[in-house]
A and B are shown apart, each in its own frame.
Chain A
């Protein structure tokens, strides 16, 4: 903001990096408002993620870690940075790429090509689990049956479980996902807007599911989306950015737009929202549903059957409405949003983000 006054033509007065005071600054960091050159940016970007990993004890030496890889910007940068940090700081981790093939022609098959290239570029073994193998249905087939209503609900439920199944197949200790600070701030906001205290209290945790079979962690919890994209651009990382064909306007959500508008006024607001979400977590003592296991597939579930099994049963019996729009307040509202989601604008941006919570 304060720089605007003396806006000079870029070539006349090259702005120097405020870290090295030598090279020309290449970007303004949203977190600190510092102007910084490319080389220094790489260093502080990686260093900050290293600090987050160390301070939160995200990994232990010798662990096998799966990186949820969609081929998109966040997971691509995560795979690159984690393999760099693992090498440089001797984390002693065995890293794997884990992808889910939903079976969406023209979308996932293309992005999987990106992940396959990443496998070679970063030398990380890749495991792909497909909806077809796990559930007997591709997303294309499901959409034929259920139409474009609620398809994101199906996809989300199956993806979450598919990642856990894949992680179990890889025998990893933990799953790292590419959720960034913007994503988490958006989730905090959405949970306030929906009155979902239980999720509000969970969504800011950097590690979740520690009591479950495979904990998940978010090394990018404090990393701005802008910096991730800048990093990927400067490093010329190979990532895929096309919207899902079944939810073409999913990224038009109000909440995301609000976060971005907010970032323009006050960049630190994104971290402040995360902080507020954490405070909400401490201050509320809402009862969590008790976790059991699904009688059918053994997956963690608070009900008799897990959500995926209920949805699958509906598909197999030709009753795709089964399990949609349950009686609990949140889910009702959820399905309302999804209903409106097609064509109309909805509040959330990533019904179909590749690796959702």
Chain B
């Protein structure tokens, strides 16, 4: 599945300072939660932690979800509206992670 992942607000520092990642996540690559064939955000986070985050993963995740203070948008929509970890992902979706925790 082709996805565009964008890291902002300082999170890019955790993945070699690259902001935009065009990635191919194959659902069979990871153990899907809930036994369905669909890729959900929970799976994507596991994948990102294993494949993209190069340092200090605790800055990005806490438990099985993003660290409080990290905003997530799926196709420019707040993931709090789409079911957070249960948000289903589809081909060519754009997922944006922005940290609010850096100075300003």
Contacts and interface: CB of A to CB of B under 8 A. Distances in A.
Given A15-B81, A352-B103, A226 B10 contact: no
Nearest to B59: A252
A233 B81 contact: no
A261 interface: yes
A24 B77 CA distance: 9
Contacts of A263: 68
Interface string A337-348: 000000000000
Nearest to B69: A260
A241 B76 contact: no
A175 interface: no
Interface in B59-104: 59, 67-69, 71, 73-78, 80-84, 86-88, 90, 96, 98-104
Nearest to A225: B100
Contacts of A234: 76
B104 A75 contact: yes
Nearest to A1: B80
Nearest to A183: B104
Interface in A24-44: 24-28, 35
A263 B101 CA distance: 13
A245 to B, nearest CB: 12
A10 B103 CA distance: 32
Contacts of A25: 77-78, 81
Given A10-B88, A73-B104, A229-B71, A242 B81 contact: no
Contacts of A28: 78, 80-81
Contact of A349 (B67, B77, B88, B101): B101
Kindly name the residue among A9, A225, A257 whose own CB sees the greatest number of chain B CB atoms within 10 A.
A9
Interface in A55-82: 70, 72-76
B3 interface: no
B13 interface: yes
A189 to B, nearest CB: 15
A353 B104 CA distance: 7
A62 B77 CA distance: 40
Contact of B104 (A8, A15, A72, A264): A72
Interface residues of A, number: 48
Q: Bin chain B's interface residue count.
A: 20 to 34
Contacts of A243: 10, 13, 102-103
A217 to B, nearest CB: 17
Nearest to A257: B68
Contacts of B98: 229, 233
Given A260-B69, A353-B103, A242 B88 contact: no
A243 B103 CA distance: 7
B8 interface: yes
B68 A264 contact: yes
Contacts of B83: 3-4, 7-8, 10
A241 B102 CA distance: 6
A251 interface: yes
A230 interface: yes
Given A10-B75, A25-B81, A28-B80, A244 B86 contact: no
A248 B104 CA distance: 14
B9 interface: yes
Given A7-B86, A261-B68, A241 B8 contact: yes
Nearest to A5: B83
Given A27-B77, A73-B104, 9 more contacts: A10-B83, A26-B76, A35-B81, A72-B102, A225-B69, A233-B96, A241-B104, A260-B69, A263-B68
Interface of B: 8-10, 13, 59, 67-69, 71, 73-78, 80-84, 86-88, 90, 96, 98-104
Interface of A: 3-4, 7-11, 15, 24-28, 35, 70, 72-76, 178, 182, 225-226, 228-230, 233-234, 239, 241-244, 250-252, 256-257, 260-261, 263-264, 349-350, 352-354
